């Protein structure tokens, strides 16, 4: 009988010790299954750098030594706002930072490496996208490869499509729509 009590005590001790010493994992059962949002991008025009009125969210940060077809080899660095509608005055949801490189020799193709920092008042955290898209595709698909905070350990697939594009102050200014499905 005493032996059973000691065993029970030891088991309880082990259980409470393990729950005390275990680091709190950043589990993300609370993350969303789906998000819809818009991204704004204004690409600085390297032939028109002197206009003080111009604001931009992306700059060209590398190019090949000789000009290539389909902008092959050019890399842009960006920090783009994320909003609830295709309007800079709509609700701010976060921002997305990273690089896109032109990687297609026969077709304008973008390689995207970017992290979304999300803070919409409900969810906080980051999720990262890595993938290739053909610029002329109506809908582009790319994997979500991980996340932190409310998005910890997430995977998913992002659908991206161009909503509008215009030349403003000699810059290309565009809105993109994102629809992302998440699994944890």
Ligand X SMILES: *[C@@H]1O[C@H](CO)[C@@H](O)[C@H](O)[C@H]1NC(C)=O
Binding site for ligand X (CB under 6 A): 45, 47-48, 51, 53, 87-89, 119, 124, 167, 170-172
Angle value at C-alpha 86, between 38 and 169, nearest 5 degrees: 110
Q: CB nearer to ligand X: give 51 or 84.
A: 51
Minimum distance of ligand X from residue 9's CB (angstroms): 40
Structure tokens, 141: 């698909």
How far apart are CB 3 and ligand X at their closest, in Å? 49
Cβ 123 to ligand X shortest distance, Å: 7
Based on CB atoms, which residue is closest to ligand X, 18 or 46?
A: 46
CA nearest to 29, candidates 160, 171, 184: 184
Alpha carbon 58 to chain centroid distance? 15
Beta carbon nearer to ligand X, 115 or 119: 119
Q: Give 88 or 139: the residue with its C-beta nearer to ligand X.
A: 88
Q: How far is the CB of 132 from ligand X (least distance, A)?
A: 23
Burial tier of 15 (Cβ tally within 10 Å: 0-12, 13-18, 19+): exposed
Nearest to 118 by CA among 29, 3, 39, 23: 39
């Amino acid at each position: 009988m005493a032996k059973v009590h000691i065993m029970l005590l030891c088991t309880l001790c082990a259980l409470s010790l393990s729950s005390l010493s275990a680091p709190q994992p950043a589990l993300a059962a609370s993350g969303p299954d789906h998000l819809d949002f818009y991204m704004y991008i204004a690409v600085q025009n390297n032939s028109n750098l002197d206009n003080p009125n111009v604001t931009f969210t992306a700059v060209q940060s590398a190019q090949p030594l000789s000009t290539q077809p389909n902008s092959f080899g050019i890399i842009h660095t960006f920090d783009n706002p994320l909003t609830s509608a295709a309007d800079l005055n709509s609700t701010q949801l976060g921002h997305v930072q990273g690089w896109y490189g032109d990687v297609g020799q026969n077709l304008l193709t973008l390689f995207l490496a970017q992290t979304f920092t999300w803070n919409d008042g409900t969810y906080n955290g980051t999720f990262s996208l890595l993938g290739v898209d053909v610029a002329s595709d109506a809908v582009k698909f790319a994997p979500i490869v991980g996340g932190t905070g409310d998005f910890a350990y997430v995977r998913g697939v992002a659908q991206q499509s161009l909503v509008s594009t215009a030349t403003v102050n000699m810059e290309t200014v565009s809105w993109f729509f994102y629809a992302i499905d998440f699994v944890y």
